[in-house]
Amino acid sequence: MGSIRVLLLAGVIAGFAGGAALAAGSGGGGGMSLPSESGPSYDPAEEYAKALAALDARDFKAAARSAQRVTDAVPQNLDGWKLLGAAQTGAENWKGARRAYERAVKIAPDDLNARGGLGMALARLKDPKARDQLDWLKARSASCGAGCNAELLRSLTAELERALAEPTAPSARLDQPLILADAGDAAYLDAVSLINEGRYEVALARLDAARAAFGPHPDVLTYQGFAHRKLGRFEVAEGFYRQALAAAPDHRGALEYYGELKVERGDLVGARRMLARLERACTYGCAEAETLRSWIDAGGGPER
Protein backbone atom coordinates (compact mmCIF):
# COMPACT_ATOMS: atom_id res chain seq x y z
CA MET A 1 0.00 0.00 0.00
CA GLY A 2 2.89 2.34 0.59
CA SER A 3 3.69 2.87 -3.07
CA ILE A 4 0.39 4.51 -4.00
CA ARG A 5 0.70 6.86 -1.02
CA VAL A 6 4.25 7.79 -2.03
CA LEU A 7 3.02 8.66 -5.51
CA LEU A 8 0.25 10.82 -4.11
CA LEU A 9 2.50 12.61 -1.64
CA ALA A 10 4.94 13.30 -4.44
CA GLY A 11 2.20 15.21 -6.22
CA VAL A 12 1.68 12.82 -9.14
CA ILE A 13 -2.10 13.04 -8.64
CA ALA A 14 -3.06 16.65 -7.89
CA GLY A 15 -6.02 17.50 -5.72
CA PHE A 16 -6.40 14.17 -3.92
CA ALA A 17 -4.27 14.86 -0.86
CA GLY A 18 -7.31 15.01 1.40
CA GLY A 19 -7.73 11.25 1.96
CA ALA A 20 -6.87 10.62 5.56
CA ALA A 21 -6.75 7.37 7.47
CA LEU A 22 -9.38 6.83 10.13
CA ALA A 23 -7.78 7.16 13.52
CA ALA A 24 -8.44 4.81 16.41
CA GLY A 25 -10.88 6.33 18.88
CA SER A 26 -9.83 7.30 22.37
CA GLY A 27 -10.97 5.24 25.33
CA GLY A 28 -13.08 6.24 28.31
CA GLY A 29 -12.41 8.93 30.85
CA GLY A 30 -12.13 12.67 30.54
CA GLY A 31 -15.08 13.27 28.25
CA MET A 32 -18.66 12.40 27.48
CA SER A 33 -19.01 10.23 24.37
CA LEU A 34 -21.00 7.29 23.13
CA PRO A 35 -19.27 3.93 22.72
CA SER A 36 -19.86 4.09 18.95
CA GLU A 37 -18.00 7.40 18.88
CA SER A 38 -15.00 6.32 20.98
CA GLY A 39 -14.48 2.73 19.86
CA PRO A 40 -11.64 1.74 17.54
CA SER A 41 -11.98 2.39 13.82
CA TYR A 42 -9.74 1.33 10.97
CA ASP A 43 -8.36 2.47 7.64
CA PRO A 44 -10.20 0.07 5.30
CA ALA A 45 -7.48 0.22 2.63
CA GLU A 46 -4.84 -0.79 5.18
CA GLU A 47 -7.06 -3.55 6.53
CA TYR A 48 -7.60 -4.80 2.97
CA ALA A 49 -3.83 -5.02 2.48
CA LYS A 50 -3.48 -6.88 5.77
CA ALA A 51 -6.18 -9.33 4.74
CA LEU A 52 -4.45 -10.01 1.41
CA ALA A 53 -1.14 -10.59 3.19
CA ALA A 54 -2.79 -12.90 5.71
CA LEU A 55 -4.47 -14.86 2.91
CA ASP A 56 -1.12 -15.23 1.19
CA ALA A 57 0.31 -16.57 4.47
CA ARG A 58 -2.75 -18.86 4.83
CA ASP A 59 -3.63 -17.20 8.14
CA PHE A 60 -7.32 -17.30 7.35
CA LYS A 61 -8.51 -16.19 10.77
CA ALA A 62 -6.44 -12.99 10.58
CA ALA A 63 -7.53 -12.49 6.97
CA ALA A 64 -11.19 -12.76 7.95
CA ARG A 65 -10.70 -10.34 10.84
CA SER A 66 -9.17 -7.66 8.64
CA ALA A 67 -11.63 -8.25 5.80
CA GLN A 68 -14.52 -7.90 8.26
CA ARG A 69 -13.15 -4.49 9.25
CA VAL A 70 -13.17 -3.50 5.58
CA THR A 71 -16.82 -4.46 5.17
CA ASP A 72 -17.75 -2.80 8.47
CA ALA A 73 -16.20 0.47 7.31
CA VAL A 74 -17.41 0.37 3.68
CA PRO A 75 -20.46 -1.97 3.53
CA GLN A 76 -21.06 -1.42 -0.20
CA ASN A 77 -17.53 -2.34 -1.25
CA LEU A 78 -17.67 -5.43 -3.45
CA ASP A 79 -14.00 -6.34 -3.04
CA GLY A 80 -14.23 -6.33 0.75
CA TRP A 81 -17.04 -8.90 0.72
CA LYS A 82 -15.24 -11.09 -1.82
CA LEU A 83 -12.10 -10.93 0.30
CA LEU A 84 -14.07 -11.90 3.40
CA GLY A 85 -15.63 -14.76 1.45
CA ALA A 86 -12.19 -15.97 0.36
CA ALA A 87 -10.90 -15.83 3.95
CA GLN A 88 -13.89 -17.77 5.26
CA THR A 89 -13.50 -20.27 2.42
CA GLY A 90 -9.88 -20.84 3.42
CA ALA A 91 -10.97 -21.32 7.03
CA GLU A 92 -13.71 -23.69 5.85
CA ASN A 93 -16.27 -21.51 7.62
CA TRP A 94 -18.87 -22.22 4.98
CA LYS A 95 -21.70 -20.32 6.64
CA GLY A 96 -19.49 -17.26 6.92
CA ALA A 97 -18.38 -17.66 3.31
CA ARG A 98 -21.98 -17.97 2.16
CA ARG A 99 -23.00 -14.79 3.99
CA ALA A 100 -20.05 -12.84 2.55
CA TYR A 101 -20.62 -14.01 -1.01
CA GLU A 102 -24.36 -13.41 -0.75
CA ARG A 103 -23.60 -9.78 0.04
CA ALA A 104 -21.12 -9.62 -2.86
CA VAL A 105 -23.70 -11.03 -5.29
CA LYS A 106 -26.29 -8.57 -4.04
CA ILE A 107 -23.90 -5.68 -4.77
CA ALA A 108 -22.71 -7.04 -8.13
CA PRO A 109 -24.97 -9.81 -9.52
CA ASP A 110 -22.73 -10.33 -12.56
CA ASP A 111 -19.45 -10.75 -10.68
CA LEU A 112 -18.02 -14.14 -11.62
CA ASN A 113 -15.92 -14.76 -8.50
CA ALA A 114 -18.81 -13.79 -6.24
CA ARG A 115 -21.10 -16.24 -8.02
CA GLY A 116 -18.51 -19.00 -7.97
CA GLY A 117 -17.66 -18.39 -4.32
CA LEU A 118 -21.31 -18.46 -3.31
CA GLY A 119 -21.84 -21.70 -5.22
CA MET A 120 -18.83 -23.29 -3.50
CA ALA A 121 -20.06 -22.31 -0.04
CA LEU A 122 -23.56 -23.61 -0.77
CA ALA A 123 -22.13 -26.86 -2.15
CA ARG A 124 -20.06 -27.39 1.02
CA LEU A 125 -23.22 -26.77 3.06
CA LYS A 126 -25.02 -29.34 0.86
CA ASP A 127 -27.53 -26.66 -0.05
CA PRO A 128 -29.34 -27.48 -3.32
CA LYS A 129 -29.25 -23.78 -4.23
CA ALA A 130 -25.60 -24.35 -5.20
CA ARG A 131 -26.90 -25.72 -8.49
CA ASP A 132 -28.53 -22.34 -9.21
CA GLN A 133 -25.08 -20.77 -9.19
CA LEU A 134 -23.70 -23.52 -11.41
CA ASP A 135 -26.56 -22.98 -13.87
CA TRP A 136 -25.83 -19.24 -13.84
CA LEU A 137 -22.15 -19.85 -14.62
CA LYS A 138 -23.00 -22.25 -17.44
CA ALA A 139 -25.50 -19.80 -18.94
CA ARG A 140 -22.87 -17.07 -18.80
CA SER A 141 -20.38 -19.38 -20.50
CA ALA A 142 -22.86 -20.13 -23.27
CA SER A 143 -23.31 -16.43 -23.99
CA CYS A 144 -19.67 -15.50 -23.43
CA GLY A 145 -18.72 -12.88 -26.01
CA ALA A 146 -16.21 -10.07 -26.40
CA GLY A 147 -14.74 -8.98 -23.07
CA CYS A 148 -16.00 -12.10 -21.31
CA ASN A 149 -13.49 -13.97 -19.13
CA ALA A 150 -14.03 -17.45 -20.59
CA GLU A 151 -11.03 -18.96 -18.78
CA LEU A 152 -12.28 -17.84 -15.36
CA LEU A 153 -15.77 -19.11 -16.17
CA ARG A 154 -14.40 -22.53 -17.09
CA SER A 155 -12.33 -22.67 -13.89
CA LEU A 156 -15.23 -21.65 -11.65
CA THR A 157 -17.63 -24.04 -13.35
CA ALA A 158 -15.25 -27.01 -13.06
CA GLU A 159 -14.52 -26.26 -9.40
CA LEU A 160 -18.19 -25.99 -8.53
CA GLU A 161 -19.02 -29.20 -10.40
CA ARG A 162 -16.33 -31.01 -8.38
CA ALA A 163 -17.70 -29.57 -5.13
CA LEU A 164 -21.22 -30.70 -5.99
CA ALA A 165 -20.01 -34.20 -6.88
CA GLU A 166 -17.84 -34.51 -3.77
CA PRO A 167 -18.85 -31.90 -1.14
CA THR A 168 -16.16 -32.92 1.38
CA ALA A 169 -13.21 -32.72 -1.04
CA PRO A 170 -10.71 -29.89 -0.36
CA SER A 171 -11.02 -26.81 -2.52
CA ALA A 172 -8.40 -26.46 -5.24
CA ARG A 173 -8.42 -22.66 -5.25
CA LEU A 174 -9.17 -19.49 -3.36
CA ASP A 175 -11.62 -17.20 -5.08
CA GLN A 176 -9.84 -13.91 -4.43
CA PRO A 177 -6.78 -13.49 -6.63
CA LEU A 178 -3.80 -11.91 -4.91
CA ILE A 179 -2.64 -8.79 -6.76
CA LEU A 180 0.68 -7.08 -6.16
CA ALA A 181 0.60 -3.44 -5.04
CA ASP A 182 2.96 -2.46 -7.85
CA ALA A 183 0.47 -3.78 -10.40
CA GLY A 184 -2.26 -1.80 -8.66
CA ASP A 185 -0.22 1.39 -8.86
CA ALA A 186 0.38 0.84 -12.58
CA ALA A 187 -3.34 0.28 -13.16
CA TYR A 188 -4.16 3.42 -11.17
CA LEU A 189 -1.76 5.62 -13.13
CA ASP A 190 -3.01 4.17 -16.40
CA ALA A 191 -6.56 5.05 -15.35
CA VAL A 192 -5.62 8.63 -14.48
CA SER A 193 -4.06 9.11 -17.93
CA LEU A 194 -7.12 7.60 -19.61
CA ILE A 195 -9.44 9.89 -17.64
CA ASN A 196 -7.39 12.90 -18.68
CA GLU A 197 -7.91 11.76 -22.29
CA GLY A 198 -11.66 11.38 -21.73
CA ARG A 199 -11.52 7.59 -22.23
CA TYR A 200 -13.74 6.82 -19.28
CA GLU A 201 -14.89 3.27 -20.09
CA VAL A 202 -11.33 2.03 -20.56
CA ALA A 203 -10.28 3.91 -17.43
CA LEU A 204 -12.95 2.13 -15.39
CA ALA A 205 -11.49 -1.27 -16.28
CA ARG A 206 -8.08 -0.14 -15.03
CA LEU A 207 -9.64 1.32 -11.89
CA ASP A 208 -11.28 -2.05 -11.22
CA ALA A 209 -7.82 -3.60 -11.31
CA ALA A 210 -6.47 -0.95 -8.94
CA ARG A 211 -9.41 -1.47 -6.57
CA ALA A 212 -8.81 -5.22 -6.53
CA ALA A 213 -5.24 -4.51 -5.41
CA PHE A 214 -5.98 -1.78 -2.86
CA GLY A 215 -9.55 -2.41 -1.75
CA PRO A 216 -11.68 0.60 -0.81
CA HIS A 217 -8.95 3.21 -1.31
CA PRO A 218 -10.67 6.61 -1.44
CA ASP A 219 -8.57 7.87 -4.36
CA VAL A 220 -9.54 4.90 -6.52
CA LEU A 221 -13.20 5.08 -5.50
CA THR A 222 -13.33 8.81 -6.18
CA TYR A 223 -11.98 8.38 -9.69
CA GLN A 224 -14.48 5.58 -10.31
CA GLY A 225 -17.25 7.96 -9.29
CA PHE A 226 -15.82 10.67 -11.52
CA ALA A 227 -15.63 8.39 -14.59
CA HIS A 228 -19.18 7.09 -14.12
CA ARG A 229 -20.42 10.64 -13.63
CA LYS A 230 -18.83 11.74 -16.91
CA LEU A 231 -20.64 8.86 -18.59
CA GLY A 232 -23.94 10.12 -17.18
CA ARG A 233 -24.34 7.28 -14.66
CA PHE A 234 -25.15 9.54 -11.75
CA GLU A 235 -26.53 6.90 -9.38
CA VAL A 236 -23.51 4.65 -9.87
CA ALA A 237 -21.20 7.64 -9.40
CA GLU A 238 -22.96 8.57 -6.18
CA GLY A 239 -22.42 5.05 -4.85
CA PHE A 240 -18.66 5.31 -5.39
CA TYR A 241 -18.48 8.77 -3.83
CA ARG A 242 -20.33 7.45 -0.78
CA GLN A 243 -17.87 4.57 -0.51
CA ALA A 244 -14.93 6.96 -0.74
CA LEU A 245 -16.34 9.13 2.03
CA ALA A 246 -17.11 6.10 4.18
CA ALA A 247 -13.43 5.18 3.88
CA ALA A 248 -12.16 8.76 4.41
CA PRO A 249 -14.86 11.25 5.54
CA ASP A 250 -12.67 14.31 4.87
CA HIS A 251 -11.41 13.25 1.44
CA ARG A 252 -11.31 16.54 -0.47
CA GLY A 253 -11.57 15.08 -3.96
CA ALA A 254 -14.63 13.00 -3.08
CA LEU A 255 -16.31 15.93 -1.33
CA GLU A 256 -15.72 18.24 -4.27
CA TYR A 257 -16.84 15.83 -6.97
CA TYR A 258 -19.83 14.62 -4.99
CA GLY A 259 -20.83 18.26 -4.55
CA GLU A 260 -20.47 18.86 -8.29
CA LEU A 261 -22.64 15.84 -8.96
CA LYS A 262 -25.30 17.27 -6.69
CA VAL A 263 -25.17 20.56 -8.60
CA GLU A 264 -25.59 18.68 -11.88
CA ARG A 265 -28.64 16.93 -10.44
CA GLY A 266 -30.13 20.23 -9.25
CA ASP A 267 -29.56 19.51 -5.55
CA LEU A 268 -27.98 22.81 -4.50
CA VAL A 269 -28.85 22.20 -0.84
CA GLY A 270 -26.89 18.95 -0.91
CA ALA A 271 -24.04 20.61 -2.77
CA ARG A 272 -23.81 23.28 -0.07
CA ARG A 273 -23.60 20.54 2.54
CA MET A 274 -20.61 19.08 0.70
CA LEU A 275 -19.08 22.57 0.55
CA ALA A 276 -19.54 23.00 4.29
CA ARG A 277 -17.77 19.69 4.90
CA LEU A 278 -14.97 20.76 2.56
CA GLU A 279 -14.55 24.05 4.41
CA ARG A 280 -14.27 22.19 7.71
CA ALA A 281 -11.69 19.84 6.18
CA CYS A 282 -9.70 22.73 4.63
CA THR A 283 -8.77 24.84 7.64
CA TYR A 284 -6.86 27.37 5.56
CA GLY A 285 -8.87 27.00 2.37
CA CYS A 286 -8.25 24.72 -0.59
CA ALA A 287 -8.76 24.63 -4.35
CA GLU A 288 -11.45 21.94 -4.05
CA ALA A 289 -13.66 24.21 -1.94
CA GLU A 290 -13.18 27.16 -4.28
CA THR A 291 -14.04 25.05 -7.32
CA LEU A 292 -17.18 23.63 -5.75
CA ARG A 293 -18.24 27.11 -4.62
CA SER A 294 -17.95 28.34 -8.20
CA TRP A 295 -20.12 25.43 -9.39
CA ILE A 296 -22.77 26.29 -6.82
CA ASP A 297 -22.68 30.02 -7.66
CA ALA A 298 -23.07 29.25 -11.37
CA GLY A 299 -25.59 26.45 -10.86
CA GLY A 300 -23.27 24.19 -12.85
CA GLY A 301 -19.69 24.09 -13.99
CA PRO A 302 -17.28 23.71 -16.86
CA GLU A 303 -16.42 20.35 -18.36
CA ARG A 304 -13.60 18.82 -16.35
More confident of the two residues 2 and 188: 188
More confident of the two residues 278 and 38: 278
Predicted pLDDT at 93: 94
pLDDT digits (tens, 9 = 90+) for 100-134: 999 999 999 999 999 999 999 999 999 999 999 99
Average pLDDT over all residues of the chain: 82
All structural domains of the chain = 44-165 (1.25.40.10), 181-298 (1.25.40.10)
148 falls in which pLDDT band (50, 70, 90)?
confident
CA 299 → CA 183, 253, 277, 288, distances in Å? 40, 19, 19, 16
Residues 6 or more apart in contact with residue 242 via CB below 8 angstroms: 76, 258
Q: How far apart are CA 185 and CA 175, in angstroms?
A: 22
Predicted pLDDT at 285: 82
171 falls in which pLDDT band (50, 70, 90)?
low
DSSP symbols for the chain: -HHHHHHHHTTSSTT-TT--PPPPPP-SSSS---HHHHS----HHHHHHHHHHHHHTT-HHHHHHHHHHHHHH-TT-HHHHHHHHHHHHHTT-HHHHHHHHHHHHHH-TT-HHHHHHHHHHHHHTT-TTHHHHHHHHHHHHHT--TT--HHHHHHHHHHHHHHHH-TTSPPS--SS----HHHHHHHHHHHHHHHHTT-HHHHHHHHHHHHHHHSS-HHHHHHHHHHHHHTT-HHHHHHHHHHHHHH-TT-HHHHHHHHHHHHHTT-HHHHHHHHHHHHHH-TT--HHHHHHHHHHHHTS----
Predicted pLDDT at 186: 87
CA 225 → CA 73, 133, 248, 257, distances in Å? 18, 30, 15, 8
Determine which of 8-17, 205-214, 245-254 has the lowest per-residue pLDDT on average.
8-17
CA neighbor of 212 nearest in space, from 224, 201, 200, 227: 224
Instruction: Using the predicted structure, report yes or no on whether residue 247 has a pLDDT greater than 70.
Output: yes
Instruction: Using the predicted structure, report yes or no on whether residue 294 has a pLDDT greater than 90.
Output: yes
pLDDT digits (tens, 9 = 90+) for 13-47: 333 333 333 333 333 333 444 444 444 567 898 99
Overall average pLDDT of the 249-256 stretch: 94
First-to-final CA distance of the chain: 28
Q: How far apart are CA 224 and CA 216, in angstroms?
A: 11
Instruction: Using the predicted structure, report yes or no on whether residue 226 has a pLDDT greater than 90.
Output: yes
pLDDT digits (tens, 9 = 90+) for 61-91: 999 999 999 999 999 999 999 999 999 999 9
Predicted pLDDT at 170: 62
Predicted pLDDT at 278: 94
More confident of the two residues 167 and 241: 241
